[in-house]
Chains A and B, each alone.
Chain A
Amino acid sequence: MYARPISDLIHLLTKLPTIGPKTAQRLVFYMINTPKEDIEELAAAMIALKEKMRECEVCHNLSEREKCVICEDNTRDESILCVVCTPQELAAIEKSMIFKGKYHVLGGALSPLEGIGPEKLNIGSLTARAKKGDIKEIILATSPTLAGEATALYLVKQLSGIPVKVTRPALGLPMGADLEYADEITLARAMEGRRNIGEARD
C-alpha cells in the first residue's frame, strides 16, 4: 500500500512497546513533514544511546562512563546502599531527593512465575560490595509485589552472614490517599509498621 521506506519504518516502529500499526503510521507521516535536520538529530540521538550507554561497573546503573555519576560523587554517603531492581526505580528515588547514599541496580526481580532466577541478576556483585566492610546498611527497595518480595527475601538470605544492617522501606498508605479505599494488605502493613508521632517528627 505504501512505498517501501514508509512501510519499513512502520514495521520497525511497531516493534517498540505500546506502539501499534496506527500510531506507527501517524509517527511516520509526522516524520515525512518534519525538517531533515530534526530527523537526523533524532537518528543520531538513538545511535548515540546504543553506542555510549553502558552499565556502571560498580552499581550497574546506566552510565556514559565506567562509573556512573552517583558512584563518582564523593559527597554521597558510602556506608548506606539502596538496592533497586531497575535504573527507572533508581531515578524515582533520586527524584525524591531524600536519599543521599549509593545504589545497586539488580537488573530485574526474581520471578518464579516468569522463570527469572538469581543467576540473571546482579546479586554476586552486591554481596561482594557488602563483604568489603564499608557498607553499614543495605536498604532493599524492591517493589512490594510477589517478585519484589521474593527478591527481598532471597537477598536477606544471601546477606545473612555479612555484618551489615538490612532494612526495607516502610509499606503503607500513599500521600493523599483515601483510607476507605485502601486495600486490606496495605492497611495491615501500615498498621504493623505504625510509629509514634514524636518519633516521626524527629
Chain B
Amino acid sequence: MPALYKAEGIILRTRPLGEFDKIITLLSPDIGRIHAVARGSRRLKSSFMGKLEPSTRIRGLVARGKNLDILTQVQVIEFFPHIRRDLKSLFASAYLLELFEAFTPFQENSASQYNLLRKGLAAIQRGVDPEIVCRGCEIKLIWVSGYQPELGHCVVCEGSVETSENFSSRLGGAVCDMCSIREKNMEHFTAGARSLYNRFLKAGSGSMTGESMERENMENLDEILSSYLAGIIGRPFSASRFMKEFGR
C-alpha cells in the first residue's frame, strides 16, 4: 500500500485517544476495515469536528503510520441525520455498525459488506422500519460472509427437514426430528419464520416493508438470527439488547 492513500468508507466506531485525538474504525469497500488516528479531532475548532461520527460516509486521505494510519483530510459524502431523530432508528443503526464491524475482515476487499451497510443505513434514513432493515441486513450479511445456515437438509444426517422446525445455532442449520432427540440446545424455527427468512434473502436490503409480516414470525426469526450470529462471533451484540429493550 502506498505511503498516502485515499479511502472511502462508513465510520463504524470512534474512540478517544489521549486528550484531543480519536481513533476511527472505517469500513471501506476496497480495503475492508481499517483503523486510523484523526489528530486533534476532539478540539472544538478542528476541521474534523462533526465529520467523524459513527455511520457517516466519508472520503479521506490517509497516511501510513508506524502503528496506526493517520487520517489527514476528510470530506463527508453522505450523512444520515434522520437515524438520530428517534431511539429505535438510532439503536438499529448502532447495531448495524457493530454487526458489520464484527463481520468485516481487516484490510481486505469488503465491497459487498460496504454496499449492504450503506443500503441499510439509507433505508433507515428513508423511514423503513429499522427492525425490518436489521433482519434484512443480518440475512444478507450472513450470506456474503459465507456463514449461511444449512436449511435444505438435516445438518447431522443430511435427511429431510421438510416437516421439522428444529434449528441448531451450534451445528449451523436445520435438524430433523429424529436427530433432534439426541442433540442438545435445539431452537424452534417455525415454518412461517423460515419462509420470512427466504423472503428476506430474495428481496433487496431495505426494499421490504412490514406488510404481511406476522409479529410472531418476526420475533422467531429475530431469536434464531440473534443466537446464530452470536454463535459465529462468540459473543452477543451489545447494541441488539438496546434495540429490543429500549427501542420500541
Contacts and interface: CB of A to CB of B under 8 A. Distances in A.
Interface stretch (B32-40, B44-52, B145-153, B203-211): B44-52
A5 interface: no
A149 B19 CA distance: 22
Given A118-B246, A146-B84, A186 B90 contact: no
B19 A185 contact: no
B76 A153 contact: no
A186 B246 CA distance: 27
B94 A117 contact: no
Give the interface centre of A146, A186, A188 by most chain B CB atoms within 10 Å.
A146
A146 B90 contact: yes
B50 A185 contact: yes
A157 B91 CA distance: 14
A185 B50 CA distance: 7
Nearest to B97: A113
Interface stretch (B64-72, B118-126, B218-226, B235-243): B235-243
A185 B13 CA distance: 17
Interface string A8-36: 00000000001000000000000000000
Interface in B71-100: 76, 79, 81, 84, 86-87, 90-91, 94-95, 97-98
Contacts of B245: 117
Contacts of A112: 90-91, 94-95, 98, 238-239, 242-243
A112 B87 CA distance: 11
Interface residues of A, number: 25
Nearest to B243: A112
Interface in A76-132: 110, 112-115, 117-118
Interface string A148-192: 011001100100000000000000001011000111111010000
A179 B55 CA distance: 23
Given A113-B13, A183-B49, A185-B53, A18 B84 contact: no
B45 A176 contact: yes
Contacts of A183: 49-51, 76
Contact of B79 (A113, A114, A176, A185): A185
B60 interface: no
A153 B94 contact: no
Nearest to B52: A183
Contact of A18 (B19, B79, B238): B19
A153 B247 CA distance: 10
B54 interface: yes
Contacts of A177: 45
Given A181-B47, A184-B79, A186-B49, A113 B90 contact: no
Given A18-B18, A113-B239, A186 B50 contact: yes
A154 B94 CA distance: 14
Contact of B86 (A113, A145, A153, A182): A153
A154 B246 contact: yes
Contacts of B243: 112
Contacts of A154: 87, 246
A185 B243 CA distance: 24
13 contacts: A112-B94, A112-B95, A113-B94, A113-B239, A115-B239, A145-B53, A149-B90, A150-B91, A157-B246, A174-B44, A177-B45, A185-B81, A186-B50
Interface of A: 18, 110, 112-115, 117-118, 145-146, 149-150, 153-154, 157, 174, 176-177, 181-186, 188
A-B pairs, top 7 by smallest CB distance, nearest first, are A115-B238, A183-B50, A112-B94, A112-B239, A112-B242, A186-B50, A183-B51
Given A113-B54, A117-B242, A150-B94, 7 more contacts: A18-B18, A112-B238, A112-B243, A117-B245, A146-B55, A185-B53, A186-B49
